């Protein structure tokens, strides 16, 4: 399944989702799928989160943990789920509230193996 199809399936089947993207740790977007009426700048959010992921990975290494598999950040109006596909790429899903977080996490986890085979 193509990247866009996977993102569409995850976004369209997650309640109140705003969109999603697949991005490299270099800040380059591989693919994105955004709901039609959405105004969130996903590319900018993704670029900012690459720095956060690197920082968390460095802290994890200093503490003797393996790198993070998933990061969930809840803001007042949006929940972001960020999951590593491998050490060079991640997938991010934005949801309007936390109601769809379980389904979003499940759909990402369900598709992560297929995504990792593409890189």
* DSSP character string of the chain: --HHHHHHHHHHTSTTEEEEEEEETTS-EEEEEE-TT----HHHHHHHHHHHHHHHHHHHHHHTPPPPSEEEEE-SS-EEEEEESSSSEEEEEEESSGGGHHHHHHHHHHHHHHHHHT-
Statement: the pTM of the whole predicted model exceeds 0.85: yes
CATH of the domain spanning 3-117, picked from 2.102.10.10, 3.40.50.970, 3.30.450.30, 3.40.50.2000: 3.30.450.30
How many residues would you count in the chain? 119
Q: Residue 1 has what pLDDT?
A: 63
pLDDT score for 36? 85
Q: What pLDDT, on a 0 to 100 scale, did the predictor assign at position 91?
A: 96
Residue 47 CB-half CA count within 13 A: 7
pLDDT of residue 114: 86
pLDDT for position 39: 86
Instruction: Tell me which residues of the chain have a pLDDT lower than 50.
Output: none
- Domain residue spans in the chain? 3-117
CA 61 to chain centroid, in Å, comes to 21
* Block residue for tokens 């950040």: 73
């Amino acid at each position: 399944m193509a990247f866009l199809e996977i993102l569409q399936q995850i976004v369209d089947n997650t309640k109140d989702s705003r969109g999603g993207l697949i991005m490299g740790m270099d800040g380059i977007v591989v693919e994105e799928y955004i709901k039609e009426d959405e105004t969130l700048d996903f590319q900018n959010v993704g670029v900012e989160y690459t720095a956060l992921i690197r920082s968390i990975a460095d802290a994890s290494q200093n503490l003797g943990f393996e790198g993070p598999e998933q990061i969930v950040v809840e803001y007042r109006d949006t929940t972001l789920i960020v999951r590593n596909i491998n050490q060079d790429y991640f997938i991010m899903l934005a949801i309007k509230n936390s109601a769809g977080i379980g389904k979003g996490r499940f759909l990402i986890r369900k598709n992560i193996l297929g995504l990792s085979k593409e890189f």
